[in-house]
Amino acid sequence: MDTPVMGEIFLLVLVTLLSVAQNAFFALKVEKECRTHTSKTPAFERVSCANRNCMDTYPTFLAVMWCAGICLSQAPAAFAGILYLFARQRYFVGYMGQTSQSTPGYLFGKRIISFLCLMCIVGILNFLLLEYCGSDYKESIQTITKAASTLLLLP
């Protein structure tokens, strides 16, 4: 493997490790709320619910990020992964306040997961085209996804 590919794979590994650290942070936050509030207060319920929601989407996020990186292009997948971590942090912090404050983070995360799913589907379709038709559009698709990944920054 050449060095640029190893660097891009390193980005995917780094995003995965950051995601694990973020999940640990969320779990510590829930544990802290549990210790400070012995009874089931609304604050504890909100933090617990936000953590549970983040843990429910975690396997999907990892699967589509790695599939998009392996099947299509590592750099846009890693970029989308970093953005997803920020969106999930925004969702979690918003959920700790009022439930309506978490909506922007939720919608942003949903858009990023959709982009990663689309990358997976296009990468798999390109592989099938190469395998059965002999047509390879990977470089064209990579150029498009690199340009489209910056559109994720738009509100």
- pLDDT score recorded for residue 134: 83
Cβ density class 96-121: b for 16+ within 10 Å, e for less:
beeeeebeebbebbebbbebbeebbe
- pLDDT score recorded for residue 138: 80
Residue 88 and residue 22 in contact, taking contact as beta carbons nearer than 8 Å: yes
Which letter does DSSP use for residue 140 in this model? H
- pLDDT score recorded for residue 53: 79
Instruction: Find the radius of gyration of the CA atoms of the chain.
Output: 18
- pLDDT score recorded for residue 39: 57
- pLDDT score recorded for residue 50: 75
- pLDDT score recorded for residue 14: 81
All domains of the chain in start order, with CATH: 3-153 (1.20.120.550)
- pLDDT score recorded for residue 34: 67
Task: Name residues of the chain where pLDDT drops below 50.
Answer: 1
- pLDDT score recorded for residue 8: 67
Global pTM exceeds 0.85 = no
Tokens found for residue 57: 């989407």
- pLDDT score recorded for residue 153: 78
- pLDDT score recorded for residue 155: 64
- pLDDT score recorded for residue 154: 74
